[in-house]
Structure 1
């Protein structure tokens, strides 16, 4: 997923100008998703704002589906944008309106604005879900802006249910986000969202009190906000890590380097406290020199370290290598480590002058990793 795309920043793709005959090149449309922690954060408003901006730049924009939910500010923001008429369907002798994806494709705007990506279509529609309609529109070469709340992502469904006590039935497969060209988080504080709710800007007055007692509880909003920010941070990190071979770490990850020295248990405890403070994944690494034989006490010591690491819910790593600094550096890059905990060198000053310290070698090979050097008593035999 690429998160730096903007509709007007594709020099290899030429947009048709309105009122002009033009054969659109065969290509899949670009998909940009505006995501938020809950209803009312301003996803639709922001989508409409960008639609107006692009229209002013000469892009042919049409609204495929807009849900205002009675919000006057949102309805007003849609003024001046063409809205593709919905199709009506008869259901239980009632006329219901649904987005007309085929009409959007026939209209062929350069950009379609489509609200509520997780919506389930009326039974009898050509496709069950709105995100499937969007897929058809994208395949027709039309760019799409859409909106989505974090609780509608399939893989987060169980977690959201545990947080809020609400089982969300309308869900979107994670693949929809994975294939999106850009994701934008619309972020507001829980306090701002509560104010909007009390002012009647999200739900009708009769629903406000019930909402505050249920889904819109402060603790729910805080957790959902963190989920939304983390979801996009994960996506950005995955993408940035592939750019020009560089690694971009957004989340903290802590690695403790242990050895046969007795101080390794102390390092593990200190590393776990750092990881716990940062709310970060925790790893422990032992580099085994294949040319050296571990004594029974040393083997038991490493087993004790592994047991303690697992008690801290950490992941214990064991690799073979003659070059300890290189092995640590390789593991740090593989696991995207941001913090490394090591004990101070127990080599003699003469050896340090001749060979250099482990810390110096790590500093040279890992440019964007913080090193924590823990002072300990010099005892035991080195690994």
Structure 2
């Protein structure tokens, strides 16, 4: 088990009016035990007198997970109408109105039903945190935005539900729930992750041993990098290092109307993260050429993604692309 160096402690309770603390349980794939571990810690805190509720739980019909939730207060879901069908989502307003000290929220990367107040569940979590309520949540490494292209190359699966990297960076604690690839495949074969009719397909695709090894390495490396970054920031803030003059590295990503621009932005953001440097995205707009509607939408998507990584999107008009890049 690997944990960050910024642990949550019971000194947070009783809760103050400040923003709540966020603890994320992350794993390499479904079935490693993230939700189980979250519920387990919820029980421990409840036994210590902490007011704990389950804001949203996805058991996926896993008996062990459902059994572990017994004894914890589970808040009812909110019904949402979509295309004549009634679906359910976490009732964020009910969680905030209940005012627990700690809310457990499963599947941070989930996309809410169209018509919900917010598009993503992580945005619901941010509302709960803003209300001064601490949150435990779960997510898999493949849902991290900057890893999207890399995970697709490794597994052949394009993950649609993603979360901004900043959520891990801003979290007060991140815990890797880790098992070996062999253990995870055994759980899958035993029917503890998916229904029997889905097992063979899963083993032949996402749950191949080589895929799991690569995803496990990504998860462990991501948390190790976060811990190292926390240490660098802490060292930089000490009086000994505060007076040093540092050369600040910057990463510039040059984007165009080509589809691979989004991949370049994600790659640039990861490099910037490793270097602890800001990232800039530059689009050189030729004034003699009008963008099609599709191209304009593509550039807008690039800008949104850049800003999601905390970067600055720069758009300049110039006939000479090379000169525009050099002068930026």
TM-score by length of 2: 0.70
SS across alignment from 2:163? coil
**Mapping for residues 95-244 of structure 1, pairs under 5 Å:** 95-243=86-234
**Mapping for residues 239-250 of structure 1, pairs under 5 Å:** 239-243=230-234
Q: CA deviation at 1:2?
A: 6.4
Q: CA deviation at 1:246?
A: 10
**Structure 2 unaligned regions, length at least 5:** 239-274, 277-328
The CA distance in 2 between the partners of 1:25 and 1:45, in whole Å, is 28
Moved over 6 A (4+): none
Q: Which residue of 1 aligns with 2:317?
A: none
The CA distance in 1 between the partners of 2:9 and 2:75, in whole Å, is 21
Q: CA deviation at 1:90?
A: 1.6
SS across alignment from 2:159? coil
Change beyond 3 A, Cα 1:14–1:39: closer
Change beyond 3 A, Cα 1:87–1:246: closer
Quote the RMSD (CA, aligned, Å).
1.9
SS across alignment from 1:241? helix
Q: Which residue of 2 aligns with 1:7?
A: 9
**Structure 1 unaligned regions, length at least 5:** 16-23, 248-333, 336-383
Q: CA deviation at 1:56?
A: 0.3
TM-score by length of 1: 0.60
Instruction: Tell me if the contact between 2:103 and 2:135 (Cα under 8 Å) persists in the aligned partners.
Output: yes
Q: How many residues end up aligned between the 2 structures?
A: 238
Residue by residue, what CA displacement relative to the aligned partner does 1:254-304 show, whole Å, maximum 9, x if unpaired? xxxxxxxxxxxxxxxxxxxxxxxxxxxxxxxxxxxxxxxxxxxxxxxxxxx
Residue by residue, what CA displacement relative to the aligned partner does 1:307-365 show, whole Å, maximum 9, x if unpaired? xxxxxxxxxxxxxxxxxxxxxxxxxxx99xxxxxxxxxxxxxxxxxxxxxxxxxxxxxx
Instruction: Tell me if the contact between 2:13 and 2:50 (Cα under 8 Å) persists in the aligned partners.
Output: no
Instruction: Tell me if the contact between 1:2 and 1:180 (Cα under 8 Å) persists in the aligned partners.
Output: no
Q: Which residue of 2 aligns with 1:69?
A: 60
Q: Which is higher, the Rg of structure 1 or of structure 2?
A: 1
The CA distance in 2 between the partners of 1:94 and 1:221, in whole Å, is 36
Residue by residue, what CA displacement relative to the aligned partner does 1:95-148 show, whole Å, maximum 9, x if unpaired? 111101111000010000000000000000000000000000000000000000
The CA distance in 1 between the partners of 2:119 and 2:6, in whole Å, is 31
Higher RCO by CA contacts (8 Å cutoff, separation 6 or greater): 2
